[in-house]
Structure 1
Amino acid sequence: MTAYEKLAAHEHETWALAQVMGRLGWDQETMMPRGAAAQRGEEMAALESVLHARRSDPKLGEWLEAAKAPDAKGEALLRHARRSYARTTKVPAALAAELARVTSVAQGVWAEARAKDDVAHFLPTLERVIALRREEASALATDGALYDALLDDYEPGTSSAEIGAMFDRMRPRLVALVDKVLGAETQPAALSGSFNAEGQMRLSRKLAEITGYDFSRGRLDLAVHPFSSGSGSDVRITTRVAEGDPFNCFYSTIHECGHACYEQGIAPEFAFSPLGEGASMGVHESQSRIYENQFGRSRAFSGYLFEQMRGEFGDLGIGDAQAFYGAVNRVNTGYIRTEADEVHYNLHIMMRFDLERALIAGDLEAGDLEAAWNTRFLKDFGVAVDKPSNGMLQDVHWSVGLFGYFPTYALGNVYAGCLMQALRGDLPDLDAQLATGEWSAATGWLREKVQVHGGLMEPRETITQACGFEPSEAPLLEYLEAKFGEIYRV
């Protein structure tokens, strides 16, 4: 075997083991008995130790030095392997295992604290997670930029300075749009009533099928915080149900289908390699956000959803499809990021971005996070946080150590805006198709332009090649201003 062939075989087995670890994580958030948390933490730590040893094996360094790629796929594989090896060898094995153990247990502690609105119950665990991630960032950072070292895990090639500059350009137009919409005379009515859980799950499954999600290679379950897990032939999604808010369930399902369809759409020959997953979390979020918003909350598809909901639940208390479209896209200053309308959503991300940068830099400590969150939320949204589950305890991300992840949601929105502009140019009859519940042309376009390539290209290259132009925030902002200006007549 050549050095390249040895490396490729090693990567294949490493990625297969990583899939097993991912399945343990899925089980933990869906079906694992509550009393098994400590044991699962030890299992995750043990698996992480095995993976860390494989990813930092000195033989990898030798193979990487000698390997010659046979083709473009091979060049991409070597690029990913070099990056992984360089990062893994900087992080001590004991630290990697402890991070896996602590964050596994932390998820359950966070869920308990969230259910009880008890910040004090969560703080010791959060402090430990932050300390470990700071230690990891210190090992990885080459220039003292701790947060950038963590951001690189989720969006390679992007810096916090670039993200911050993009947010600075976006914020004034978003704030101006919020002010116009909330001050408008036209205010759509909200959906109200009770919608049984069984009906929500039936319709969620139908929505998943409409997006192209393949249930022969996946499943739909319930979780505290919706997520997608897995790749290739085993990609699982979750949603959640609130009987007074069916949109939460439906749009969480559609969002996670965007992630899952990306993973299911990657070329099969990339399986069990770093090419067999999304190019980055920003590119991943571009798929989930375009499925959820530009397709799912469009006027065309909301009319279809209106009829489906009436068939499942009877009279909705909303007279027609136009009023329903307003309800689907109603702008209001809510607490919860995952339930936020498109106008407010990126402002939620900007707040978290600033807070987590301060946490990693040591400018903000865990014990002061609740006060900092509440102060910033009141400043940005004009509403006082009423309870921790509507504040700093609402998201799972920090409990499982995902510092650097949040900005990729906003970057995904930006990428989605670019993709939608290009897609509409190629599919002029898109609205007519969405109005009948037919997504295959739109999702087929995304599969061909983005999904099939997996990690073959760098993130920005993936979007640039798909769109035919360099990504920027302009298409997203123009889309938001046009859509909500029309709905609210401003």
Structure 2
Amino acid sequence: MTNAYDDLMAFQRETGALGQIAGRLGWDQETMMPRGAAPQRAEEMAAMEHVLHARRTDPRLGDWLAAINDKTLDQVGQANLRHIRKSYLRNTAIPAKLASELARKTSMAQGIWAEARSKDDFASFAPTLEEIVSLKREEAAALSKGNLYDALLDDYEPDATGDQIAAMFNAMEPRLIALRDKVLGKPEPKSVTGTFDEAKQMKLTRQLAKTFGYDMSRGRVDKAVHPFSSGSGMDVRITTRTSEIDPFNCFYSTIHEVGHACYEQNINDDYLFTPLGSGVSMGVHESQSRIYENQIGRGRAFTSWLFGEMKEAFGDFGIANEDEFYATVNKVHKGYIRTEADEIQYNLHVLLRFGLEKDLMEGKLDVADLEEAWNTRFEQAFGYKVDKASNGVLQDVHWSVGLFGYFPTYSLGNLYAGCLNVAMRGALPDLDTDLAKGDTTAATAWLQENVQQHGGLYKPTDLIAKATGAEPSEAPLMDYLEAKFGEIYDL
């Protein structure tokens, strides 16, 4: 005879498996699906969402939750119950019709966004975005009688609030701007020259994925317009993109997505299909992609190894030695694109988006005025004008798929990565010796042990505090940036 907890978890594992199938539909849509299939895929995604929503709001969940005595469960059981109870309360607050309509509309919107982006025509996307914003505000109102933005943020960074995040971002901003201004006053490092064969890029990028511990027997690397990671457990896939004149776009997009993917691959296998079987928050998830990409991948030690690999793959590309290469990889430069921004300016891009989407959800900004607001705030923050919509309001896919509340987690991830880097290097004083040989094993093993294996077991800030021995703070990240770029640019 089974008990309520066993019944609950059996039901949850089936729901988790169906969720993975839905995720695979999304992966296929971005990588291999024929363009003409978009309307049919929208219906398929909506149907799957209807099934999932029905399971996530099944009255039996409420009965099982009411029947379970939390005190009889171990730590894992209590954590599972915490996640399921919260999810159930949130999902039962959202009408099934609204959930289905959101799935249908955001699936269709991806293609409309991509077409508008290719033509630099925000006006052609604006009506669709206006519908999505309206639906997301309706969803937020159903979830909370309080702040609409906080209700959506909670999906990505549990227990965080927009005001808390704004306070941390505001504390970072003066130091970021001061450092950027000093750096941009110095001579710019060299750029790579020549063209870089796409096939050779993809060969090296797969090597990099393996170098950072990505298990290719349970994953694959494909191309997409916007790189992403998809899946968990035994099937975790990543995408990247190539540019014949900028190989770093490919290599560091790959390392970034591998950080996400390794988090999912390295979660305790016992948690598969349960609420603990995926990353605990997007901020923590981003901490893994960022520490892989920046503190490890763009560090002096690892870039000395990567320089040799690139010389072997591409021959002479205009960089004389390892020191020049380190400066090139970490070059601070003007630009419009968040995903191509240097470490100093990246968070300023996030601040821009965070402010805009918060205003959209709180009714302080209309979609019709979004492009003008973006362009105005960009010029204020960066000192030059946006030249076209694909470099501005249309550059990111997030709003087209309804991810409001997602953007600030990128900078939270940077903050967490700064904290984790200090703790990791304290535990591994000889780490750079290994990284200079292209050996990331010690670093990735430390992250697996202290962060990744736990999945959703701990709350986000508790996990970071447990791994580092201190509460999360922006100070380690800012200290790291000032030291690193102060050395590169001789400040």
TM range (shorter): over 0.9
Give CA-to-partner distance per residue, 1:251-288, whole Å, 9 cap, x none. Answer: 00000000000000000000001100001000000000
**In structure 2, distance between residues paired with 1:21 and 1:265:** 22
How far residue 111 of structure 1 moved from its aligned partner, in angstroms, is: 1.0
Match of 1:165 in 2: 167
Match of 2:462 in 1: 461
Letter in 2 for 1:109: I
Matched, 1:108 2:111: yes
Length-normalised TM-score, structure 1: 0.99
**In structure 2, distance between residues paired with 1:191 and 1:120:** 37
**In structure 1, distance between residues paired with 2:45 and 2:100:** 8
Match of 1:210 in 2: 211
Matched, 1:130 2:133: yes
**In structure 2, distance between residues paired with 1:257 and 1:148:** 29
**In structure 2, distance between residues paired with 1:60 and 1:424:** 44
**In structure 2, distance between residues paired with 1:361 and 1:437:** 47
Give CA-to-partner distance per residue, 1:220-259, whole Å, 9 cap, x none. Answer: 0000000000000000000001111110100000000000
Q: Is the 2:283–2:410 contact (alpha carbons within 8 Å) kept by the matching residues of 1?
A: yes
How far residue 426 of structure 1 moved from its aligned partner, in angstroms, is: 0.5
Match of 2:234 in 1: 233
How far residue 402 of structure 1 moved from its aligned partner, in angstroms, is: 0.3
Partner-residue secondary structure (3-state), 1:236: strand
Aligned residue runs from structure 1 range 7-406, under 5 A: 7-69=8-70, 70-143=73-146, 145-184=147-186, 186-406=187-407
Letter in 1 for 2:276: L
Q: Is the 1:333–1:383 contact (alpha carbons within 8 Å) kept by the matching residues of 2?
A: no
**In structure 2, distance between residues paired with 1:192 and 1:399:** 35
**In structure 1, distance between residues paired with 2:436 and 2:350:** 31
Partner-residue secondary structure (3-state), 1:266: coil
How far residue 364 of structure 1 moved from its aligned partner, in angstroms, is: 1.0
Q: Is the 1:126–1:399 contact (alpha carbons within 8 Å) kept by the matching residues of 2?
A: yes
Give CA-to-partner distance per residue, 1:39-60, whole Å, 9 cap, x none. Answer: 1111111111111111111111
**In structure 1, distance between residues paired with 2:97 and 2:30:** 25
Give CA-to-partner distance per residue, 1:278-303, whole Å, 9 cap, x none. Answer: 01000000000000000000011111
**In structure 2, distance between residues paired with 1:130 and 1:284:** 25
Length-normalised TM-score, structure 2: 0.99
Letter in 2 for 1:127: E
Partner-residue secondary structure (3-state), 1:274: coil
Letter in 1 for 2:344: V
**In structure 1, distance between residues paired with 2:277 and 2:90:** 19
Letter in 2 for 1:358: D
The worse-fitting range, judged by mean Cα deviation, of 62-71 and 423-432 is 62-71
The worse-fitting range, judged by mean Cα deviation, of 446-455 and 186-195 is 186-195
Give CA-to-partner distance per residue, 1:57-99, whole Å, 9 cap, x none. Answer: 1111111011135311100000001100110010000000100
How far residue 187 of structure 1 moved from its aligned partner, in angstroms, is: 2.5
Partner-residue secondary structure (3-state), 1:213: coil
Q: Is the 2:223–2:241 contact (alpha carbons within 8 Å) kept by the matching residues of 1?
A: yes
Give CA-to-partner distance per residue, 1:383-438, whole Å, 9 cap, x none. Answer: 11111110011101000000000000000000000000000000001111111100
**In structure 1, distance between residues paired with 2:100 and 2:419:** 39
**In structure 2, distance between residues paired with 1:205 and 1:9:** 37
**In structure 2, distance between residues paired with 1:53 and 1:282:** 28
Partner-residue secondary structure (3-state), 2:239: strand
**In structure 2, distance between residues paired with 1:384 and 1:402:** 26
Q: Is the 1:4–1:68 contact (alpha carbons within 8 Å) kept by the matching residues of 2?
A: no
**In structure 1, distance between residues paired with 2:97 and 2:46:** 9
How far residue 16 of structure 1 moved from its aligned partner, in angstroms, is: 0.5
Q: Is the 1:247–1:328 contact (alpha carbons within 8 Å) kept by the matching residues of 2?
A: yes
Give CA-to-partner distance per residue, 1:433-454, whole Å, 9 cap, x none. Answer: 1111000110000000000000
**In structure 1, distance between residues paired with 2:289 and 2:425:** 18
Partner-residue secondary structure (3-state), 2:154: helix
**In structure 2, distance between residues paired with 1:142 and 1:47:** 29
**In structure 1, distance between residues paired with 2:63 and 2:141:** 26
**In structure 1, distance between residues paired with 2:143 and 2:410:** 23
How far residue 333 of structure 1 moved from its aligned partner, in angstroms, is: 1.5
How far residue 216 of structure 1 moved from its aligned partner, in angstroms, is: 0.2
**In structure 2, distance between residues paired with 1:360 and 1:126:** 12
Name the % identity. Answer: 65
Partner-residue secondary structure (3-state), 2:123: helix
Give CA-to-partner distance per residue, 1:437-481, whole Å, 9 cap, x none. Answer: 000110000000000000001000111111111110000000000
Partner-residue secondary structure (3-state), 2:236: strand
**In structure 1, distance between residues paired with 2:44 and 2:371:** 32
Q: Is the 2:301–2:432 contact (alpha carbons within 8 Å) kept by the matching residues of 1?
A: yes
Letter in 1 for 2:140: A
Partner-residue secondary structure (3-state), 1:399: helix
How far residue 112 of structure 1 moved from its aligned partner, in angstroms, is: 1.1
How far residue 116 of structure 1 moved from its aligned partner, in angstroms, is: 1.5
**In structure 1, distance between residues paired with 2:473 and 2:59:** 41
How far residue 194 of structure 1 moved from its aligned partner, in angstroms, is: 1.1
**In structure 2, distance between residues paired with 1:35 and 1:112:** 13
Letter in 1 for 2:158: P
**In structure 1, distance between residues paired with 2:69 and 2:33:** 44
How far residue 142 of structure 1 moved from its aligned partner, in angstroms, is: 2.8
Match of 1:413 in 2: 414
Partner-residue secondary structure (3-state), 1:235: strand
Partner-residue secondary structure (3-state), 2:323: helix
**In structure 2, distance between residues paired with 1:39 and 1:106:** 13
Q: Gaps (5+ residues) in structure 2?
A: none
- Counting matched residue pairs gives 488
Partner-residue secondary structure (3-state), 2:238: strand
Letter in 2 for 1:2: N
Letter in 2 for 1:460: T
Partner-residue secondary structure (3-state), 2:226: coil
Partner-residue secondary structure (3-state), 1:481: helix
Q: Is the 2:360–2:366 contact (alpha carbons within 8 Å) kept by the matching residues of 1?
A: yes
